[in-house]
Structure 1
Amino acid sequence: MCAEELDFVEKYDLLGCIQCGRCTGGCPVALRTDLRVRCFMNDTQNEERLEELSEKPEIWDCTTCFTCAARCPKGLEPLEVLIGLRSLQIEEGKVQPTVRDALESIFKDGNPWGSPRAKRLDWASDLEVEVLEPEAEETTDVLLFICCTDAYDPRVMKAAQALVKVLIAAGVDFGLIGDDESCCGSEVRRLGEEGLFEMCDEENVELLNSFNVNRIVAISPHCYNTLKKEYHGLKVPVLHYTELVAELLEDGKLELPKEVAKVVTYHDPCFLGKQNDIYDEPRYVITRIPGVDFREFDRCRERSLCCEGGGGKMWVESESKEERLAEIRVEDAKEMGAEVIAVACPFCLLTLEDATKVKGVDEEMQVMDILELLAEAL
């Protein structure tokens, strides 16, 4: 066994795999693609096959939803093997142009959408919100970390705007980072660009630690997961916004005087639920909104169906022409009579809203961030 093979085998503990097949059996994208995670766990033990395996298009079908890791009886994380294979392709520059452009945009402008850094705060131009100064003497309670998608996408930025309105209504002492805010690098790491992710980690930790705050609140589960579990050296705790809003409601600091008379179901984001066990807070927040008739998906919580927005999939086109998982999700919501699919993730919002249009139900069914529902209740 050569050094490179040994490194790959040891790095991902491939010899610990017992080939039980629970990873492939639970993989949501296996429903519509050729991805068979168990086979990769076995085949990557052979160093001579690594290049060949890295060239298989199905490694890019993985959404890194974490189902395989959650189901593994040996505590392995098969998704990391696929990320490792992607890294081999990244090193060779063999990636789709959309992936290349997203990574270059993050390196140059701090976001994957090809937008200039100077427009980072345009989403908040009509809001009264403070941009915090590093090394300030006075302590601010909450520093908001705004996802690149919330900052630049015209549809998704409505969720960020709603968050500001909710926090103002609750009297929260908070502020923004400003134009210096950069991509957290969650999708960078999952696309396999290890060097660029290390840069995101180092630069963002230094920036975030320069603010005199009690805690950081992320609007995106992807940012939340990365800041909380993958960054090195953050000095303050990181929360997802649903945790903060649930706290505000429990403490009686946020009042919701208006009724929102809608049938609402909730789609668990993989990076919030499966990867961080946050299931109760979003549901608590939704059910505290007056007038809401809340109904659960059959596949919810740990069994929730991935929307296919994670793992860099926003920039990777799948070769499969089978029905997308987001479309299946919309069909399930329609069957239960839901008028709103509530989400707590920008990628879920985009994929599910697109699926409502594909299925022709966008006139009768909305996809809304929980924050947008809260804003209607203010």
Structure 2
Amino acid sequence: MSRALTIADLRVLAARRTPRSVFDYTDGAAESETSLRRARRTFANLELRPAILHDVSQIDTTTLMLGQPAALPFAFAPTGFTRMMQTEGERAVVRVAQRHDIPYALSTMGTTSIEDVATAGPDARKWFQLYVWKDRSRAEDLMARAKAAGYEALILTVDVPVAGARLRDVRNGFSFPPQLSLSTILDGATHPNWWIDLLTTPTYQFASLDSWGGTIGELLDTLFDPSMTMADLEWLRSAWDGPLVIKGIQTLEDARRVATAGADAIVISNHGGRQLDRAPVPLRLVPDAREAIGDATEVWMDTGIMTGGDIVAAIALGAQATLIGRAYLYGLMAGGERGVQRAVEILQGEITRTMKLLGTTTINQLNPNHVRLP
């Protein structure tokens, strides 16, 4: 792990240590994967503008998320099927989150239960991510369990009325749990440790859902409710009285709508490029969204983040925080909890170094003058 100097290095290790179908599920995006490439290209092509002759001997990377301090300006995004990527799964991630004072969001599609994650990270800031099902009572039960287990906030993901066309998964015959076939047996010959873990640890299953034998797309289309509207936010508020985050905002109009409806934070996100291909690049929406909705609602963003410099740029353009997904999953696949730990160390070092080179000592000092978008 110490030889991995960047998140890209962890990605290379992850690809070596994980079966292709599992790696591609994490690494891939929808259709032509244009949304993901555009997001990463935007970060790669932006210009950071340094200021010189400032005392940067002491750096404070603390930021506020939902009004509470977090030691770094990012949280671990909710991701599904996490134990499939590496058997330590969500427990490993929440332990690292607790160690570094980073909020962690557990997905509805998680592979460790709400209660077991709470036990693994009793002092971590824990959020629960919810997909609204056609059966509302199931969602109400999950919210009640999260509340009872001490979860601080609810993240409602709103950009999955139907599953995106994730073609790598279709071509790989990806299923959950993984099924033995000629291709998976051949792949297992080159990833024996992963398969040994699969066969010697508890069976992978959804921690919050019943078992499922179909494809991922079929699961999403069966469970999730495409008829949900803004009116359903009233029902949600009646069932959840804590902070509410709306994830999947991709236009200024929708940012205004959910802010007016009382969201405590919005996440400008195109689901990591995994839903609508050629969707807006979230980073480009950040400055206008920040101006459009004012200070009453926090603005976060995700998609395309691979370096600490990316996170600094997003904060400078107006985001109060970011979510990272693939970045820590590459670490998890590369080395379990040690890999997630290494991902945080890499990002923390890059954030600190970038802030010093920009001539800033606190997150609040970052501003649009530090970034020029192409």
Structure 1 length as normaliser, TM-score?
A: 0.31
Structure of higher RCO (CA pairs closer than 8 Å, 6+ residues apart):
2
- CA radius of gyration, larger in: 1
